[in-house]
A and B are shown apart, each in its own frame.
Chain A
Amino acid sequence: MDKISVSKPKKFKRNLIILTVLFLIVASAWFAGFNVIEVMINLNKGSRLLGRMFFPPDLSYLPNIVDPMVETVRMAIVGTFIGATLALPVAVLAANNFIKSKFLHGPLRIILNIFRTIPALVLASLFVAVFGTGPFSGVVALSIFTFGLVSKLTYETIEAIDYGQVEALMSLGANKMNILRYAIMPQILPQYMSYTLYGFEVNIRAAAVLGYVGAGGIGQTFEFNLAWRNFDRVGTIIIFSFFIVLIIDLISSSIRKRLV
């Protein structure tokens, strides 16, 4: 049989991309002042600190952190609820297949993107400045962050629905509200609830650090103990937070799997 000869694949472009990425990593490390030797020296210091935190942690401190932890979870729940509730109607307006108006979608999306891009921690420090310290500022920050996240994911889902069902409802003489209720909501509701739960998972983690800027929750206790160098208590806080986040993540993601 004749041997088939094919031209060699062109690898130049691929190699160029690999080299560029490598260069960017090295250059960034250099600019950021990353230094392997310094890491090695501090490794010793770090391991001593870890030792004081976890070997052993001060478990007798556990009862004192239950309340702040409950506050953290509450902040996440309320923030997720408010943000996700506001996100649904806004997502409907932002989707380009429900209301066909470029004047509406463009500006709305820019606003949503801004909300989504600002980290919750930055929002929280902003609101601490406005509303003062305490969980209220944290809740406002988490609400806005969740709103940005869930509305974006939801409007993208609305844009990807099976339009045939919308067309069928139109042919029945359905108005916009009925189309929303009978053709769009049934298609997006499971995803929307899944995004809300995902937002909740993210918020639990965010809420745990928000206290660092004074926005309530376990982070405040963490910061206090770190400042007083109560490392064994810090260790307890970290272990406790880890388990709470883990458990909530496990429950939430198992629900999400069933939803979609």
Chain B
Amino acid sequence: MIEFKNVSKTYDNGVKALENINLTINEGEFVAIIGLSGAGKSTLLRLINKLIESTGGEVFFDGISVTKATGRDLISIRRQIGMIFQGFNIVKRMSVLSNVLSGRVAYNPTWKTILGLFPEEDKQIAYRALKRVDILEKVHNRASDLSGGQQQRVAIARALAQEPKIMLADEPVASLDPITTVQVMDYLKKINVEDGITTVSNLHHVDLALKYATRVVGIKEGKVVYDVQMVDIKKEKFYEDLEIVYGRPVHHDEVLGDK
């Protein structure tokens, strides 16, 4: 589904974010990417939909090169890839509905979307997406009036409105309290399991990775240093292994609940 072939990324300021990444993510997986901040997790995620361009190697989505895609081809790749962010990144001065409908822009002619004209099917898709994350009653609210957890659910609904094959989540719960964290993660998991949407999420809390992911990939200094299927591993062994990723035992702030 997603394939990294010898992918590297060096930023203009000389920082080597990723070095020679080879990684294949299969359909239906829930992959948690863990690692220290600055390890290259965000960069890895953004290479999948070319929000960041790689400086070496190639990324493939369903066999098509994302790295080489431009213009319309890139847009048709991107609309199949949903993404949610740590800062939610919904448009705060628009209604919840407009936000979710904006997930449909790449499926409609530009002159229509500029005028805010979306076909009835798209509205139905938007309502269904909002219902999926149990926030349909806020459909006409201004996005800025919602709490953080609600905003992230709107962001998930916007991504769902794309009818994506993959969901990318860049630290989706890092700005949320523990209770809403669990809610948001539950929604991501539900979508992954029920709709079969492949999910790749950067996670700061390793116990969330343990609870939700089917596979954990550890990144350290721009390299993949750990890659394990969660069915194959016991909890204690997993925590032991984390030293490989962090170079030290796990800090308690990297665990949300109890170890």
Contact = CB atoms under 8 A, between A and B. Distances in A.
A171 B102 contact: no
Contact of B78 (A165, A171, A189): A171
Contacts of B159: 172
B91 A173 contact: no
A173 to B, nearest CB: 3
Interface of B: 49, 51, 75-79, 81-83, 85, 87, 89-94, 98, 102-103, 105-106, 110, 113-114, 155, 158-159, 162, 168
A177 B110 CA distance: 7
A172 B12 CA distance: 26
Interface string A234-252: 0000000000000000000
Contacts of A101: none
Given A173-B79, A181-B113, 18 more contacts: A162-B89, A165-B89, A168-B85, A168-B89, A169-B102, A171-B51, A171-B78, A171-B168, A172-B83, A172-B159, A172-B162, A173-B76, A173-B162, A175-B75, A175-B110, A178-B102, A182-B91, A182-B105
A182 B94 contact: yes
Given A181-B113, A182-B91, A171 B83 contact: yes
A189 B106 CA distance: 23
Interface residues on A, range: 20 to 34
Max chain B C-beta neighbours (<10 A), residue from A171, A174, A177, A187: A171
Contact of A164 (B79, B85, B106, B113): B85
Interface of A: 162, 164-165, 167-175, 177-178, 181-183, 186-187, 189-190
Question: What secondary structure prevails in chain A residues at the interface with B?
Answer: helix
B114 A168 contact: no
10 contacts: A162-B89, A164-B87, A165-B89, A167-B51, A168-B158, A169-B105, A172-B162, A177-B110, A178-B113, A189-B93
